[in-house]
Amino acid sequence: MCGIAGYFQIEGRREPDKELIGRMVNQIRHRGPDEFGAYLDNKCVLGQARLSIIDLAGGSQPMCNEDGSIWITFNGEIFNYVELRPELEKLGHVFKTRCDTEVIIHAWEQWGKDCMSRFNGQFAFAIYDKNRRSLFITRDRLGIRPAFYTVHDGRVYFASEIKSIFCDPTLPRALDYKGLDEIFTWWTTAPPRTAFEGINEIEAGSWVEIADGEITSGRYWTMLYPEEFDRQQSAASWTEELRELLIDSVRLRLRADVPVGAYLSGGLDSSATTALIKHFTDTKVETFSIAFHDKAYDESAYQQQMADHLGTSHHRVDCGYQDIAEHFPKVIWHTERPIVRTAPTPLFMLSRLVRENDFKVVLTGEGSDEILGGYDIFKETLIRSFWAKDPDSTWRPSILKRLYPTLPVVASKAGAYLEAFYKKGLADTDKYYFSHQPRMATATMVKTFYSPDARGRVDGYDSVAAFGRDLPNNFLNWHHLSRAQFVEARSLLAGYILSSQGDRVSAANSIEGRFPFLDHRLAEFAAKVPPWHKILGLKEKFILKKAMLPELPANILDRVKQPYMAPDSNSFVQDDSPEYVNELLSEAVLDRYGVFNPPAVGKLRQKCTRLADKHLSFKDNMSFISILSTQLLIHQYIENFTSAEPLKRSEFKVWHDATVA
């Protein structure tokens, strides 16, 4: 984990702005507080905030090749750098460090853009080629590490976080209302769009290059699923292959020159990765988890059971309503977009606990649900696609009651509620977003709170179509589960799980999360696994449970998945709620910011307060959090943004000041 930043003159030369790069790096020092570096010439400026994990003494950045013609600033890890290095040495490349950053430089010299296909990692990096006078920026296959850019006044600015780009005071800062509309549909924006006008996000598995006065882009990887699955390979064979890949993925992600810990949620995925760590170490594993005061969200009993079972040294952070309300503004500062749930906030607290225990790296279980069919949305899709074959059937929709046996609705009404909710869009099985219609129906309620001005700004914009661009040609020939998994990975995984709940809240506390399930070899393997081995009946992640039989206790393997959630609106309607809630949701501030209708928001807030200790609908909860987080975003980034002070020259370990003729 590091932070990258800089800018590139699209045409011509200009004296480098040394103060600006000092501000840009300082603005994201939380991503890498160990060292700061910069390269400057009159064509390109590169900055680095380093979190030292591999080759602590020799891995300082920005780094160059032997003749100083290629420079890189790099965020993340190339886990297979150990294997790539001897291959490059045989091809004549000479190394001066032990770090993975230098492997990227020589791989770029050897293979150019094709080098990305050789990397097993989680990364974002920018390479400046002085001879070609070009800048190349790219991002890992699944979008674990972020990269943003914008074009302004003849320059391309780039950074790991948007706040670094905003350090140039001449850059305009304004909301992108279409971006907001996408968030209030999908929980995230579809790259290149972000929540801010003119700020672009590089999509997962993609690159952007600036050369010869032009900006070009491309994709080097996408997840593909077969039209037909192998029906001959046995479940046992699929299971063994999964197990071997997962063990090797964990092995690679333990490569570090600092201690590596693990998140332990009490569910299958983090329990699996933590259990496999023990294959590669004789020392006691350090694990970290969240306990909620609200028992509806708490899994601490399972967490402790797994810690005892694995013999880990376990650390826990306790989270109550007041904690969520207190830390929520910090979370929005780091997510740089509105969020629709409070779930990132306890994870922000968890990464702080890791840092307080002197760890920099943790393994986590994210990605398993997306690639192996763990979410309810996948089971809903299978049920709805089955039901769609006979929409008038009276018994097919009853399967939904098996999926949600504890739905907090009066039992006599539960069946009718489920049937009415999930029947909407049943005729749209040929639409790419068929699987995600129920989720969108819940998220989009916040749009009813738009002000007339906001409504006018998005009038006619189809946010539902946002992730439908550039679909594989044979997408509609895929199995319904494959389609759902593809859309989920492209939208929620990259844009929310790995961002707002991942990189942003871990980097906020200088922590690097590593994701064994998101090794691209494992993801590509999982795409080939037949749907019936992923979800057997309504039993999710079937082959993963079989693969982990030797490692985990039965009650962990047999647990029905409990989605990670946190208390939402009831965290902000308590008697001791912070004053910022009252201020930002006041009629005057709502009116001044202009996104939401003040009287309508006032009624929603009253409803949330009245039903704080009772059942409040998902729609109302998500609307409240969406509105509050948007107000915070405007307050922090549009109304009151102040850039960091510039770092002093003496604070940079690396400072290379040059010129280009």
| Catalytic residue ranges | 2
In terms of DSSP bridges, do strands 134-139 and 206-211 run parallel, antiparallel, or are they unpaired? Answer: antiparallel
Tokens of 645: 């002070």
Residues 6+ away with beta carbon under 8 Å from 553:
305, 306, 309
Q: Provide DSSP, 223-278.
A: ----SS--SSS-HHHHHHHHHHHHHHHHHHHT--SS-EEEE--SSHHHHHHHHHHT
Main-chain phi, psi angles of 43, to 5 degrees: -115, -40
C-alpha R_g of the chain: 24
Q: Residue 17: count other Cβ atoms within 10 Å of its Cβ.
A: 16
In terms of DSSP bridges, do strands 70-78 and 63-64 run parallel, antiparallel, or are they unpaired? Answer: antiparallel
Torsion on CA atoms 639, 644, 645, 650, rounded to nearest 10 = -170
Main-chain phi, psi angles of 624, to 5 degrees: -60, -50
Residue with tokens 């998220």: 443
> String of b and e for 557-578 (b: at least 16 CB within 10 Å)?
beeeeeebebbbbbbbbeeebe
In terms of DSSP bridges, do strands 361-363 and 155-159 run parallel, antiparallel, or are they unpaired? Answer: unpaired
Residue with tokens 């990397």: 119
Query: In whole angstroms, what is the distance from residue 331 CA to residue 45 CA?
Result: 29
